[in-house]
Every structure is written in C-alpha cells, then in structure tokens.
Copies of this chain bind each other. A is one copy, B any other.
Amino acid sequence: MDEIDRKIACLLAEDARRSLADIGGVVDLSPSAVNERIRRLTASGAIQRFTVEADPVAFGQDVLAFVFVALNYEAGEAAFKDFIAACPNVLDCHHVTGGWSYLIKIRVATLSGVEDFLQQLKERRFLARSETMLALSTVTEKPFKPF
C-alpha cells in the first residue's frame, strides 16, 4: 500500500470504469502494472468491491432515519446482529459510546416503513428503549473513499 496504490484507489472511487491505460497515464505505469495493483488491492480487501452508487429516491426509498437503540440483552446480541446484517433497509449499524448501545441508519419507502422496522425490532424483543431521528434533508451522503 504505497502512494501509487492510494492514487489508483482514488481514481477508481471517482470512476471505476476508467481504463487501465488511463489510470496508468496518471500514475505513470503500464496497464498491466495497474491491473496487477488493482488485483492486489482487491485480494487484500482494501478495495472491497466494484459497485454503483444509486439514488435512493429514484428507487422509491425516500425516507432516511436514524434509530438509537438500547438493546434488551436477553434477546441475544448475536441474533440482533444477524437480523441487522440481513435487513436490506439497514445502511449502517454501529455500537456507539453514550447512552445508547447502537445507532442504526435506515432507508425506507415511507414513514410507515420506519414504524414497520421498529415493530420488527420489538417483535424480536431486541428493544429496551429506542429513539428515532428523521432526516429532513441531506447536505452530503457518500460512502467512504480513500483520499
């Protein structure tokens, strides 16, 4: 992981469709060398996958909410994590400092989707307490990119 690797990762983050020749032009390497570096970055997990950024609104997921959860540990933390990891509406879930155990970021189609999500947590007995914050508008929202 040197400066060239970082630069290649940055270029791919901006546009993953750039050709190896293009990238090679920027970092002064042959297409094959660039290819080999991308292969290594991918194999090591530094680059996790090639994907597309999609507009949630265009796909009907208009509502963004943050749910703070105090876990009911009797229900099992592992079961909670499994549920969260499998739920397509969950974009983020982190164990956090402060008065709550987890902070969860979800995208749903409508407000009732938020209620459905909370209901699912309740049904599975994961919830001791929770608090929900709705996002009214977004200034910026982007996945992590090397820089």
Binding site for B on A (CB under 8 A): 1, 6, 9, 12-17, 44-56, 58-59, 61, 64, 66, 81, 84-85, 88, 90-98, 102-103, 105, 107, 133-147
Contacts and interface: CB of A to CB of B under 8 A. Distances in A.
A59 B6 CA distance: 8
* Most chain B beta-carbon contacts within 10 A, residue among A53, A88, A139, A142: A139
B56 A47 contact: no
Contact of A93 (B12, B53, B139): B139
A94 B135 contact: yes
11 contacts: A9-B54, A15-B51, A46-B58, A47-B54, A56-B144, A61-B144, A94-B136, A96-B135, A103-B133, A107-B144, A143-B143
A96 B136 contact: yes
A51 B85 CA distance: 22
Number of chain copies forming the complex? 2
Given A51-B16, A52-B12, A143-B53, A95 B136 contact: yes
A136 B145 CA distance: 20
Contact of A52 (B47, B64, B91): B47
